[in-house]
Amino acid sequence: PEPEPEVEPPEPIYEGQIVEVAPPEVEEVPKESEYLAQADHATEHETKTEKFEINPEVLAPTWSKEQAAESEEAVDLNVERKSTGATVGNHRFDPDRDGALAALPSPWERTNKVGPQDPIPSSSRTASLSGAPQNDLLDEEVGDRVDLNTTKYPYASYIERIRRQVNYWWQQNLDNLPSSVRLARDQYTSGVEVILNADGALEHIEVSKASGSPELDDCVVRAFRLAAPFENPPAGLVKPDGRVYLPDFDFTVQLSAARLQYEGVDPRAGVQFPGILKAPR
């Protein structure tokens, strides 16, 4: 008899809020998880922090004012030329999972922990990073750190890259809202549906959840248009019709107190990534 054709296993179904969290020291699959991230992590007690940053340069479970690398055990590397400041690393990304987001190979055995292309004359054997949690909107008890049960999601890094690009322009759009914009409630949530083509160009975006403020809805739509294209989507996200259907995004603007006009807000970028940003004015 002819051998039966191999049946490909169905793709796993991933459900939950996509969050950007610091890499865990040890990866462990949780028994239950409501969050998706780049790595598995298990904890007995889930917590969030009151303070965080939008697109922090250094992602950390706790908030630090410095957000810089704190180095110890300085080592003389006998470096004579100045560092270019370009960022490199030796980590290899999976193109099917992460797209083309990859680090340049470093010729140095030891580099500064933040990742300059050439180390400065005194580098470090060990370093601890001071940073901040990302602006995820979490429904957890407040603690001294962000500690969540997370399930590894193969496309998390690509979605996080989109999130950071959009967050940047969304922040600019909110900060440039004219004073004539009237906001009478303490919270507004705009939801958008986004479709990309196979190259990552924005093919379609529409407001799927109106906030009640056309100006705030428009801030989100314009942010996606300014941030696009989102190049090199992972092959696993491209559907047979050649499109990438992104998860729904919710963006929540929360005012510290209800005002008749926009003066300063705590915007929370959602979808699967809600977040907070404190406007500078």
Q: What is the pLDDT of residues 181-195, one digit of tens each?
A: 988 888 898 999 999
Looking only at the bridges linking them, the beta strands covering 122-129 and 141-142 are unpaired
Q: What is the pLDDT of residues 134-143, one digit of tens each?
A: 877 788 999 9
Residue 56 CA to residue 242 CA, distance in Å, equals 33
DSSP-assigned letters across all residues of the chain: -PPPPPPPPPPPP--SEE---PPPSS----SS-SEEESS-B--SS-EE-S---SS-SSB-SS--SS-SEEEEEEEE----SPP---B---PPP-HHHHTT--PPPPS-SS--TT-BSS--SEEEEEEEE--B-------SEE-SS-B--EEE-TTHHHHHHHHHHHHHHHHHHHHT--TT----SSEEEEEEEEEEETTS-EEEEEEEE--S-HHHHHHHHHHHHHH----S--GGGB-TTSEEEPPPEEEEEEESS--SS-S-EEEEE-SS---------
Q: Six-digit token pair at 65?
A: 């004012």
Residue 271 CA to residue 36 CA, distance in Å, equals 12
Looking at every residue in the chain, the average pLDDT score rounds to 76
Average pLDDT over every residue of 174-178: 91
Looking only at the bridges linking them, the beta strands covering 243-245 and 187-197 are antiparallel
pLDDT the model gives residue 110 = 46
Q: Which of 172, 175, 275, 166 is nearest to 228 (CA)?
A: 166
pLDDT the model gives residue 50 = 85
pTM here is 0.66
Assign domain 155-281 one CATH number from 3.30.1150, 1.25.40, 1.20.1250, 2.60.120. Answer: 3.30.1150
Considering only 40-49, 122-131, 173-182, 189-198, which range has the smallest mean pLDDT? 122-131
Residue 165 CA to residue 170 CA, distance in Å, equals 9
Signed CA dihedral, 235, 229, 54, 171: sign only: negative
pLDDT the model gives residue 97 = 54
Average pLDDT over every residue of 242-267: 67
Sorted by where each begins, the domain ranges of the chain are 10-66+132-153, 69-129, 155-281
pLDDT the model gives residue 231 = 95
> At residue 222, what is the residue type?
R
Residue 218 CA to residue 176 CA, distance in Å, equals 12
| pLDDT band at residue 71 under the 50/70/90 scheme | very low
Average pLDDT over every residue of 38-60: 89
User: Residue 159 phi/psi, 5° resolution?
Assistant: -65, -40
pLDDT the model gives residue 7 = 76
Q: Exposed (0-12), middle (13-18) or buried (19+): which is 263, by Cβ within 10 Å?
A: middle
- Is the pLDDT confidence value at 4 over 50? yes
